[in-house]
Copies of this chain bind each other. A is one copy, B any other.
Amino acid sequence: MTAGMQGTTTAVRGPMIWFRGDPFLTSREDAFVHEPDGLLICEDGKITAVGDHTALRARIPDGVTPVHYPGHVISAGFIDTHIHYVQTGIIAAFGSQLIDWLNHYTFVEEQRFSDGAYATKVASAFCDELLRNGTTTALTFCAVYPQSVDALFEEASRRNLRIAAGKVLMDRNAPDALLDTAQSGYDDSKALIGRWHGKGRNLYAITPRFAPTSTPDQLEAAGALWREHPETLMHTHVSENTGEISWVRSLFPDRSGYLDVYDHFGLLGRGSVLAHGVHLTGRERARCAETGTAVSHCPTSNLFLGSGLFHVHDAKDPRRPMHVGLGTDIGAGTSFSMLATMNEAYKVAELTNYPLDSIKAFYLATRGSAQAMGLADTVGSLDPGHEADFVVLDPRATPLLAQRTSRVEDIEELLFVLAVMGDDRAVRATYIAGALAHDRDAPLDRGTPTATAAV
């Protein structure tokens, strides 16, 4: 049962879409569900019934009046499989590719998160921004400091968000103030797992930043910790930038490549999410598929840092399909909006000569991302049994959207237009565990922030 939602029953009515399977691998009919006039019933934070309104309305519990969203689109909440909450303040930092960008902006900003009050302030704004964008689950980096993790989980808990997060492990090639050690990183992470994993909806992710900033000892310790806590996630970066790949080769000359570093230390497997993977080789993709390792595709970031073009159709090659989710990668990404992220994923795919249709794009942003995080039975779908996180999209959010969507011919075109032209304004409402958590037109009062947030 979802924490804090016992006894609550809600229902919503309107056009609905969701996924039962993977449209990259099965027919659209098997993968995708569209209810033009759907009814969704949620009890105790979970979805208990979904289907055609007329067929299902007899099951509406006494005293419950469905909230009706005619002309909208109700989807499972978006899932952002790669984001750095501690980089919210440095979105749109000019001019560099990956390594320079880390040194000039990221490593400066992240030092501010030793201050728990600052961390709380940013975490609060971050969680609100997720809700404004219809993102109901995120897998996020924190800073190296355990208090940066506490701050995030506290703010996520206040909103009942399903967040996976972890303290960064980093014991070399970064400013001293940001370094831990193999031992302290292990100890701090283990303590945080005890404090947060499975508490409410919080999930812990063991989070080595990337191979260049961890010694072999630290990667070894991360692998050991994951073996001790296989229910947690693993979250790191791989093969984002060609300069980065060369650096990894020079740091780990005994390994056959970048992915093999993580493989060697036991960091691949179900629940392991590697951000980017822009330059993964065919053999590396096959190894990911074999181990259940997922990649988070972060198109706005890959364009912003000039990292390169991710080939989604290679990653989803039916002969050896990888789990792929979408990520904003804030702060190298340029928008919290998963709609904007789908827009850029489409553009990146076009440049690789692959037309990424809206069914596949929405899959990546919902069930595909849930699958990448090993949460396909938990979130990312409107099927009964899933947690009742969903988003209500407004096809008439702006004058231009209203004009364009007035002439769409089918749900696929409507979803495509929303992905290409939509932003946070297209998110009419966000529901968390069956409860309204963001209303675009009637902002909710969250009450007073926690004591530490008073900065």
Contacts and interface: CB of A to CB of B under 8 A. Distances in A.
Interface in A388-413: 398-400, 403-404, 407, 412-413
Number of this chain's copies in the assembly equals 2
Interface in A287-308: 303-306, 308
Task: Say what secondary structure dominates the interface of chain A.
Answer: helix
Contacts of A132: 399
Interface stretch (A145-153, A246-254, A348-356): A348-356
B416 A94 contact: yes
A188 to B, nearest CB: 28
Interface in A316-350: 334-336, 343-344, 346-348, 350
Contacts of A257: none
B303 A351 contact: yes
A92 B347 contact: no
Size category of the A interface is 35 or more
Interface stretch (A46-54, A261-269, A375-383, A417-425): A417-425
A125 B399 contact: yes
Nearest to A92: B420
B353 A403 contact: no
Contacts of A304: 346-347, 350, 420
A265 to B, nearest CB: 32
A95 B421 contact: no
A361 to B, nearest CB: 10
A399 B305 contact: no
Given A95-B357, A403-B88, A421-B92, A303 B416 contact: no
A128 interface: yes
A421 to B, nearest CB: 5
A91 interface: yes
Contacts of A404: 89, 91-92
B91 A305 contact: no
A353 B125 CA distance: 33
A196 to B, nearest CB: 26
B334 A343 contact: yes
10 tightest A-B CB contacts, nearest first: A306-B350, A303-B347, A92-B420, A95-B355, A92-B417, A94-B416, A306-B351, A334-B420, A92-B421, A91-B404
